[in-house]
C-alpha cells in the first residue's frame, strides 16, 4: 500500500475534499462518489459520511493508498 502524508492547516478537512487534495479524486464530486461506494476507510473502519471531519492523526485509506493526516510543518 502506498502512503501519502497530508499536511493539515486548520482544525479539519472534509473527507471528500481530502480525497481531491490528495489526488485520489479529480473533483469533490468524485470524492463524494468514492465515499458513497464504500471504497473509503477512516482509521480502519468504513466511512460513509461524505463530509466527515478528518483531523490530525487520522488515517484514510482508498484505492490502495493510505493518507496520513499531520499538522502542517511537521
Checking if the pLDDT of 1 tops 90, the result is: no
User: Number of folded domains in the chain?
Assistant: 1
Residue 34 sits in a domain of what CATH number?
3.10.290.10
Q: Nearest Cα to 22, choosing from 61, 73, 67, 74?
A: 67
The mean per-residue pLDDT over the stretch 61-69 comes to 96
Report the predicted TM-score, pTM, of the whole model to 2 decimal places. Answer: 0.92
> pLDDT tens across 3-52, in order?
999 999 999 999 999 999 999 999 988 999 999 999 999 999 999 999 99
Domain extent, residue 35, equals: 2-71
| pLDDT for the residue numbered 28 | 84
For residues 29 and 16, what is the distance between their CA atoms, to the nearest angstrom? Answer: 8
Amino acid at each position: 500500500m502506498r502512503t501519502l502524508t497530508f499536511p493539515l492547516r486548520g482544525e479539519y478537512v472534509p473527507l471528500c475534499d481530502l480525497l481531491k487534495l490528495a489526488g485520489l479524486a479529480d473533483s469533490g464530486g468524485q470524492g463524494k462518489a468514492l465515499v458513497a461506494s464504500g471504497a473509503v476507510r477512516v482509521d480502519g473502519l468504513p466511512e460513509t459520511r461524505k463530509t466527515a471531519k478528518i483531523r490530525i492523526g487520522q488515517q484514510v485509506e482508498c484505492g490502495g493508498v493510505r493518507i496520513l493526516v499531520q499538522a502542517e510543518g511537521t
